[in-house]
Structure 1
Amino acid sequence: MGPLVIALVSGLLLILAYVTYGRWLGRRVFELDPGAVCPSKKLNDGVDFVPTPTPVVFGHHFTSIAGTGPIVGPAIAVMWGWLPALIWILVGSIFIGAVHDFGSLVVSIRNRGQSVGEVAGRVIAPRVRLLFLLVLFMALTIVLAIFGLVIAAVFKTYPAAIAPCLLQIPMAILIGVWLRRGGRNLLFPSILVLALMYVSVIFGDTGMLMGFNAQLASQSMMWWVIALLAYSAVASVLPVGLLLQPRDYINSLQLISAMILVVLGLIVASAIGGAPVAGERPALELIAPVVDWSPANAPPMLPFLFIVIACGAISGFHCLVSSGTTSKQLNAEPAARCVGYGAMLTEGFLATIVTLACVAGLGLGIASETGTTLLGADAWNARYGQWMGDKSLAYKVGAFVDGAANFLKTLGIPSGIAVALMGVLVASFAATTLDTACRLQRYVVQELANTIARPNGSPSAVASIVQPFRGRLGATILAITVATLMAAMPLPGQAWGWDNAGKGGLILWPMFGATNQLLGGLAFMVIAFYLKRRDKPVWFLIAPLIFMLILPAWAMIQQLGGWWNAESPNWILIIVAISTLLLEAWMIAEAASVWWSLPRGGGLTTPQLDSA
């Protein structure tokens, strides 16, 4: 099966799923109501709750859930072969990931835009609320740390991406001002901003900007992490329509247009071969093994394939976006299918394209360390000779950047611009996830502080301690401080120092995968309780729920053994892993005791459960 056939069949399957399974979920299971008043309208505060046109909400949601997840995950997981990765992406996104995102969004908009953690206390049991919020806090801390490190690594590897990414901020603010002043026609500003973004990529590493990029790229990993988290802190407290929404929207335009260009390049490469190398066009072919059960130094495919590929198949982080920011912006219930189910399927297609870039596009030619051009299997072996060597995440992400750039070069796009465009794409989408994650963590910290503080207002030492974190500023400061400390971990066995701070933080990726996927299983549990209490069908959730509770715990236990027995144990990861597993077990026990005691029809924990 050729790369082009894989892309076309995958796209058709995803479209078919949207118009069949997605429609059934919307009409028969969730019963979306066009006349319902969404939280964005009823609770409109101009900051977090803002009714927004569906295309803008889709852009925010898509770019926030995508980030670098559907890029990094497949770029690593193809080491086990392209077929297992592709099957998990398609089956996972259609039957697990999109259902998870869609369900989380509907549950939230029917509960005043509250997070899944908040809703868990209402549909399962009050104690579960605190347990879920603690899991969310740990998961989001890891998300903030790892994505800050990933962006820093991309900027240091691809300096040409720095200026275009920074220029996106003022462009996003201009779009935000346009919308806030009543601008409703998005066609003209969308075309203008998209054109400006491509101009910034073409000229973003020339003249004075080249020196500017080089100077910033020379900064340490920790310098970048601090700068990026500081930016995300500012973005998280600004009105959502001023920076977050428009930045995500224009990034979605960039991603969709870039995907179109990559697919066009894939078509051309399939027809006539890649860009000429030494006067000849290399043939496009699958250079990765179909299945490889034991890559060098890699963990076992089961369960780690399903952990490494998170975004693009299913990601627990998506339930936080659905119930944290998107549900506060959606202006009509029927739009939930497009935004919740449709955006996840689009991400599944992105993950498919990433897979093809790594297992086929890479073979069209990459530069070796000696300056020669490597083709076919030689190119594959140069990037995938071992699991995660000293080049770590940035090296595997580079496989996608170079492979996708090869597709663009078949269209006549110069090599430097093609690589810069893909580098900007990776960094931009990691940044959108960082923005959203910081805002989500602020919500979680505030909910935790409100939960821990005594509701009757009586004085207590605990209430005094958590009081500063009930506000937006205090919650945000706590969120970025904890994430910065986690990201600052040095390499195992080395003392902390400014030069090596952050280098060890990249080992957070496996922990991110396991915690992230476990969160997806817990969100399925909340959705299942919500439906059962209304006597709605839950059979289609049972297999995904069990699957997403067992596999992440299995992977985390395996990693825990490795960290525990290491020559220099990483106690931060050990503590986080043990705490997460204990919280999961506690939540499952609480849920099981409630599930079997529910009467037919379920009953409600509060009379206003569905109040918007």
Structure 2
Amino acid sequence: MNSLVLALIAFFGYIVAYKTYGSWLAKKIFKLSDKNPVPSKEFYDGVDYVPTKRHILLGHHFTTIAGTGPIVGPAIGVIWGWLPAFLWVVLGPIFAGAVHDFTSLVMSSRHGGQTIGELSRKLISNRVGVIFLILIQFLLWLVLAVFAMIMGLLFDMYPESVLSIWMQIPIAIWIGYMVYKKGKKDTLYSIIGLILLYVFAIVGIFLPIRLPQLGPVSPIVLWIVILLIYSYFASVLPVTTLLQPRDYINSHELLVLMGVLFAGILVARPAIVAPAFQVAKGAPSLWPTLFIIIACGAISGFHSLASSGTTVKQLENEKDAQFVGYGGMLLEGALSVLVILAVTAGLGMYGKGTAGYFQYYSEWATTAGAGLAAQLKAIVEGAANLMKAIGIPELLGRTLMAVFIVSFAGTTLDSATRIQRFALEELVRTKSGKPWGPFKNRYFSTFVVVALAFGLAMSSPDGKGALKLWPVFGALNQLLAALALLIGTVYLAKKKINPLPTLLPAVFMLTTTIVATIQNIVTYASQNNYLLVFIAGSTLVIAFWMVFESLLSIAKSVKLETVYQEEFKKTGIPTTESESRVC
């Protein structure tokens, strides 16, 4: 199979899906309207709630959801062969991931910008909402601690990328000032910022930055401290100061990189050297494992937190939800397709053939078990080979890829800090509707979030403490996606709208994650890791609990509607109470 053919099939499929299925969801299912109020205008504060042009918001949303997930996940997923991974990142976003992101965004917009956790409290029950918000806190707690560690590891692996990454901050602040204070054109200045980013990437090759070992404190731990301090300040600043302009630059970086990789495929047209199906030594079963490992490239629960966390508070027009929510997920799927082609075709270029691929994918232990460094090396090498086909030197290609990966990990890090702060404030909300006590202050709430992440990271002296809990993250993240779709199903059912677009992927993801979690519990028990057994078992209970309460909620709303209809037949007087309770 030729890589160019697969790329064209995927990209054409995404475009058709956006124009047909995405438009059908927007117009017929959710009935988007520019007359509906949006939180960014209702609660405008210049800090978190800021109406934003849709192309800028797409940049922010995409760079928030696209951390290392759509890169590392697909690169591991091809261990079962290129075909299962390819089909999942093409069909998954269209019928599951994009529906999930889009639904979360619309529901949140119509409920005052509340997070998916708070929505579960309103749409299902208070009990479910509290448990769900705690689940979200746990997941984001892991994300912050692990992503800080990952970025520290990447900085240590690719010191050439450090200068460019940190120079993004003053560049982004300058662009934000010029665009929002001086009224300059955002596209022009973002392109200038992108050019500067690449200039510093080239300079970084000659000026790599490494942190020293300070006694028992490793460079990775030093980076964790620096990155969490950065996350604190970045997440309390107004979104127009740093978050939006930086993410807009990164979105342009993404488009350039995807264009460069596609150009390499177009020029070289490398053949796929990986088998279509593969039974690698030591690899677990394809189902459910593939659908847990490849998350962000197909569907990810973290996306519902981004959609209902930061993105919704910047949505300028409800009709933009299709472009940002549905379109953003398809764009992430396109990135995952290019990653799959980079490792299944790019690794075989320049005479390496199948040996280039099997160097990384001969057995499970050398793929998923070899750690992040080995996984990233396969991606970077395959991508550098594609870039080399259009004349980009190999060292520069590796540096550009490293800058890209670290940039996206960074945007996820500080956006996740802001999202966790929102969710924490909702969790401790009193009956008055406001956060309890000191949590009214965003500086205090953010400090608590960052301090907890630092504590988890430093539960191991090397800064990798969160890795003790990380094995439960994959299934937990996909469970969150299933539950977000379930909440969407309840929302549509109560509105008397066809719930199948959310129900079908919800059933598939629930079944998949429940089976995966049961398998994990058996594995953890055999390893006598009772902490992970407890966490996995608790999430399983939460899943069944939410399904049960969701069904009760739907049944109750149907029963109420029947009662009001019978009352209307008897009296001929319509009631608005029915609508308020059901909707």
TM > 0.5: yes
1:105: which partner in 2?
A: 105
- How far is 1:363 from its partner? 1.5
Give the aligned residue type for 1:534: K
- How far is 1:563 from its partner? 2.1
What SS class does the counterpart of residue 598 from structure 1 fall into?
helix
5 Å-filtered alignment, 1:50-199, equals 50-199=50-199
1:408 to 356, 373, 387: 387
Asked if structure 1 preserves the Cα contact closer than 8 Å seen for 2:212 and 2:219, the reply is no
What SS class does the counterpart of residue 298 from structure 1 fall into?
coil
- How far is 1:182 from its partner? 4.7
- How far is 1:75 from its partner? 0.8
- How far is 1:591 from its partner? 1.4
2:536: which partner in 1?
A: 577
1:18: which partner in 2?
A: 18
Asked if structure 2 preserves the Cα contact closer than 8 Å seen for 1:308 and 1:510, the reply is no
1:425: which partner in 2?
A: 404
1:353: which partner in 2?
A: 338
- Gapped regions of structure 2 (runs ≥ 5): 562-575
What SS class does the counterpart of residue 48 from structure 2 fall into?
coil
Asked if structure 1 preserves the Cα contact closer than 8 Å seen for 2:34 and 2:317, the reply is yes
Q: How many residues end up aligned between the 2 structures?
A: 565
Give the aligned residue type for 2:228: L
- How far is 1:220 from its partner? 3.2
What SS class does the counterpart of residue 35 from structure 2 fall into?
coil
Asked if structure 1 preserves the Cα contact closer than 8 Å seen for 2:99 and 2:501, the reply is no
2:267: which partner in 1?
A: 268
- How far is 1:478 from its partner? 2.2
**CA deviation string 1:164-218 (max 9, x = no partner):** 1111111111122123215252232022111111111111121xx23x3465999
1:7: which partner in 2?
A: 7
Structure 2 vs 1, CA of residues 601 and 198 (structure 1 numbering), >3 Å: closer, same or farther?
farther
Asked if structure 1 preserves the Cα contact closer than 8 Å seen for 2:179 and 2:185, the reply is no
Query: What CA distance in whole angstroms lies between the structure 2 residues aligned with 1:136 and 1:33?
Result: 30
Query: What CA distance in whole angstroms lies between the structure 1 residues aligned with 2:4 and 2:162?
Result: 32
| 1:437 correspondence with 2:407 | no
- How far is 1:136 from its partner? 0.8
1:299 to 240, 264, 284: 284
| 1:309 correspondence with 2:279 | no
What SS class does the counterpart of residue 50 from structure 1 fall into?
coil
Asked if structure 2 preserves the Cα contact closer than 8 Å seen for 1:361 and 1:407, the reply is yes
2:558 to 592, 599, 607: 599
Give the aligned residue type for 1:528: T
**CA deviation string 1:256-290 (max 9, x = no partner):** 111001100111111xxxxxxxxxxxxx2212221
**CA deviation string 1:8-41 (max 9, x = no partner):** 1110000000000001011001111122231111
- How far is 1:434 from its partner? 0.7
Query: What CA distance in whole angstroms lies between the structure 2 residues aligned with 1:301 and 1:483?
Result: 33
1:548 to 485, 497, 509: 509
Structure 2 vs 1, CA of residues 224 and 45 (structure 1 numbering), >3 Å: closer, same or farther?
same
Query: What CA distance in whole angstroms lies between the structure 2 residues aligned with 1:26 and 1:416?
Result: 45
- How far is 1:509 from its partner? 4.8
- Gapped regions of structure 1 (runs ≥ 5): 271-283, 366-373, 458-462, 490-495
Query: What CA distance in whole angstroms lies between the structure 2 residues aligned with 1:114 and 1:448?
Result: 11
CA RMSD in angstroms comes to: 2.4
Asked if structure 1 preserves the Cα contact closer than 8 Å seen for 2:149 and 2:463, the reply is no
- How far is 1:473 from its partner? 2.2
1:287 to 260, 273, 294: 273
Query: What CA distance in whole angstroms lies between the structure 2 residues aligned with 1:30 and 1:148?
Result: 37
Asked if structure 1 preserves the Cα contact closer than 8 Å seen for 2:142 and 2:466, the reply is no
2:445: which partner in 1?
A: 475
Bigger share in helix: 2
1:513 to 451, 471, 474: 474
Structure 2 vs 1, CA of residues 306 and 387 (structure 1 numbering), >3 Å: closer, same or farther?
same
Query: What CA distance in whole angstroms lies between the structure 2 residues aligned with 1:608 and 1:240?
Result: 35
Give the aligned residue type for 2:540: L
**CA deviation string 1:413-437 (max 9, x = no partner):** 1111110000000010011111111
TM-score normalized by the length of structure 1: 0.88
Query: What CA distance in whole angstroms lies between the structure 2 residues aligned with 1:34 and 1:455?
Result: 31
Query: What CA distance in whole angstroms lies between the structure 2 residues aligned with 1:138 and 1:128?
Result: 15
| 1:535 correspondence with 2:535 | no
2:230: which partner in 1?
A: 231
Asked if structure 2 preserves the Cα contact closer than 8 Å seen for 1:163 and 1:205, the reply is no
5 Å-filtered alignment, 1:313-392, equals 313-364=298-349, 375-389=352-366, 391-392=370-371
- How far is 1:219 from its partner? 4.3
**CA deviation string 1:365-418 (max 9, x = no partner):** 5xxxxxxxx812222222223324564022112211111111111111111111
Structure 2 vs 1, CA of residues 606 and 578 (structure 1 numbering), >3 Å: closer, same or farther?
farther
TM-score normalized by the length of structure 2: 0.92
1:559: which partner in 2?
A: 520
Give the aligned residue type for 2:68: T
**CA deviation string 1:194-248 (max 9, x = no partner):** 1111111111121xx23x3465999433322232222112111111111111111
Structure 2 vs 1, CA of residues 440 and 380 (structure 1 numbering), >3 Å: closer, same or farther?
same
- How far is 1:153 from its partner? 2.1
